[in-house]
Amino acid sequence: MSVNYGSKRVVVGAHYGLRDWLGQRVTGVLMALFTLIVMAQVMLTKGRIGYEQWAGIFSPQWMKVLTFATIIALLYHAWLGMREIWMDYIKPVSIRLALQVFAIVWLVGCAGWAVQVLWRL
């Protein structure tokens, strides 16, 4: 015989925990792999590294796409961190919403700037 001692309580929050945790780890791994690739290319470059060699590392299309994917991962990583801090410490909803909107606009602007820099638009 089952006894019901009350209703099932829903814990606070939007239940983003596992998804956000996994997002932070995946983006962190992607950024680490990108760093290793760039370091390997720098170490394999002969002679001193000047502007031409540095620009040559990022000139192939595959490197531009990989760099942009890493920048998007960095922006998502930053968004997850900022959103968590604001959800934990900024209690007035209107201020928190304004900060989140500002952050989204700023991060989208950074992504647009990255496109301009990588593809010289």
Identify the CATH number of the domain in which residue 67 sits.
1.20.1300.10
Inside any domain, residue 33: yes
pLDDT at residue 45 in the model: 86
Inside any domain, residue 81: yes
pLDDT at residue 40 in the model: 95
Q: How far is C-alpha 87 from the chain's CA centre?
A: 18
Inside any domain, residue 3: no
Inside any domain, residue 26: yes
pLDDT tens by residue, the chain, 121 residues: 666 666 665 555 566 678 889 999 999 999 999 999 999 999 998 888 899 999 999 999 999 999 999 999 999 999 999 999 999 999 999 999 999 999 999 999 999 999 999 998 8
Domain that holds residue 63: 17-119
Inside any domain, residue 23: yes
Query: CA-to-CA distance for 103 and 45, rounded, in angstroms?
Result: 38
User: Cβ(34)–Cβ(70) under 8 Å?
Assistant: yes
Inside any domain, residue 4: no
pLDDT at residue 10 in the model: 55
Residue 81: C-alpha distances to residues 35, 56, 89, 90 (Å) = 21, 33, 12, 14
Q: How far is C-alpha 71 from the chain's CA centre?
A: 7
Domain count, the chain: 1
